[in-house]
Amino acid sequence: PERARGVIPGGVNSGQRNVPGLTDLVITRAQGASFWDSDGRRYTDYHAAFGPPLLGHNDPDVVRAVAEAGGSLDLCGVGVTEGEVELAETLVELVPSMERVLLTSTGSEATFHALRVARAATGRRLVVKFQGCYHGWHDSVSLNVISAPDRVGHKDPISTGILPEVLDATLVLPFNDRDAVRAAFAEHGADIAAVILEPVPHNVGCLLPDQEFLVTLREECTRHGSVLVFDEVITGVRHGLGGWQEVAGIVPDLTTMGKAIANGYPIGAIGGRADLMDMFSSRPGAPVFFAGTYNGHPAVVAAALATLRKLHAEPVHEHVFRLGERVRTELPPVLASLGVPAVVTGYGSVFVTYFMDRLPHTYDDLLDNDTRMFVGYRRRMIDQGVFELPLNLKRSHFSYAHTDADVDRLIEVTEAAVRAQL
């Protein structure tokens, strides 16, 4: 930690900065459902590096595929590899909206390109986004009102350094609010280039979307010629091989993916309608210029192909969905017996505990979550070697490597941690 603080701002690169004490955690290795710190302590991992390792850390089949691809085979940028074609074909087959696919190295790039092509195709400026949704770090859309409940209602960006023009070109609406969507289109329809959303906002835990809300988005975008973008960086692959669009039966115009596609290797993907995707090119004078040194890196593509192959061949979803369902059904009565108002929600492999008396449906509902309870219980969980996400992100993930014994322990440790908070 001392060395880290000398060279890395705050001593840590990601997500733990806001959790007292956790900036001292130095991770030495990860395997399956666990990671270890430099004191040799093992943690059962529900954080999962914000979500990628659906198969578990260092899945042997993925690791083998990467080794066989050869880490130094940096052919990206030269031409196309067979692996890239196979991966694009696989995604086109799996994801309803994808007629063409381009690979990126992160989810942020995928959403950045999606909004850029939407603005280019429509000649319009405004992007509609929703409270509680996060789409990566870039300035194509304002990142305001993304996560921490104490920021509800703030119209300030969560980060400074964003151009005012970007904020002006972003319309932030309440999630699950059809009337707000209709009103926004009635007023600004001719200027709305794109509507982007996490179909299930998981960066605030879990707000399950009303089907009618998604239907309204599809209808309004079609009526007004705006591009509907599903940001499935979290939900894609994890909630089913075809993502939430398959679950909901609603086809967006563009889809962005990342995280679980390559089980932890750096990847993103953007795909969708051929007429939009064909605007991208790395030829000078192309309607939308597209390039990236590491896009389609052979080792990453090999990881993605091995991941998708295994997701097809083995009952991964069945396993992680069953574990998730166990927590969602078995934890609530335990918390109720302690007299603590709590709901356990989520979908499939993702579970989320809110300390409130009803399921949150909108971002504003999250104001009622007892965050003091969450912070205290999570700290106690970590002391017992059960690692969940920090306060503002809140979702927990199962992987194929988690077991029923992990669920038993999770419930036991949660009960003890919450009891100690009373």
The residues annotated as belonging to the active site are: 134, 231, 259
Q: Which residues contact 97 (CB under 8 A, 6 or more apart)?
A: 230, 245, 251, 252, 253, 254, 255, 271, 272, 273
Tell me the backbone φ, ψ of residue 35, rounded to 5 degrees. -135, 165
The residues in 93-152 that bind ligand PMP, with binding defined as CB under 6 A, are 106-108, 111, 134-136
Residue nearer to ligand PMP on the CB measure, 198 or 388: 198
User: What radius of gyration, in Å, describes the C-alpha atoms of the chain?
Assistant: 21
Stretch binding ligand PMP (CB under 6 A), from 61-69, 70-78, 228-236, 366-374: 228-236
For residue 213, give the amino acid letter: F
d(CA 105, CA 139): 17
Residue 414 in the binding site for ligand PMP (CB under 6 A) = no
Residue nearer to ligand PMP on the CB measure, 105 or 345: 105
Stretch binding ligand PMP (CB under 6 A), from 150-158, 181-189, 231-239, 340-348: 231-239
- Taking Cα atoms as reference points, which of 17, 12, 15, 14 lies closest to residue 1? 12
The residues in 179-218 that bind ligand PMP, with binding defined as CB under 6 A, are 198, 203
Whether the Cβ atoms of residue 61 and residue 310 lie closer than 8 Å to each other: yes
The residues in 259-288 that bind ligand PMP, with binding defined as CB under 6 A, are 268
Residue nearer to ligand PMP on the CB measure, 13 or 337: 13
- Alpha helix stretches (DSSP H) within 123-239: 164-168, 178-188, 211-224
**Candidate list 36, 50, 289, 294; residue touching ligand PMP; CB under 6 A:** 50
Q: x-or-dash pattern for ligand PMP, window 355-384, by CB under 6 A?
A: ------------------------------
**Candidate list 258, 264, 296, 348; residue touching ligand PMP; CB under 6 A:** 258
Compute the least distance from the CB of residue 297 to ligand PMP, in Å: 14
Of the chain, the end-to-end C-alpha distance in Å amounts to 33
Compute the least distance from the CB of residue 379 to ligand PMP, in Å: 23
d(CA 422, CA 415): 11
Grouping H, G, I as helix, E, B as strand and the rest as coil, residue 300 is helix
Whether the Cβ atoms of residue 203 and residue 134 lie closer than 8 Å to each other: yes
Compute the least distance from the CB of residue 131 to ligand PMP, in Å: 14
| Interface positions with ligand PMP (CB under 6 A) | 50, 106-108, 111, 134-136, 198, 203, 231, 233-234, 258, 268
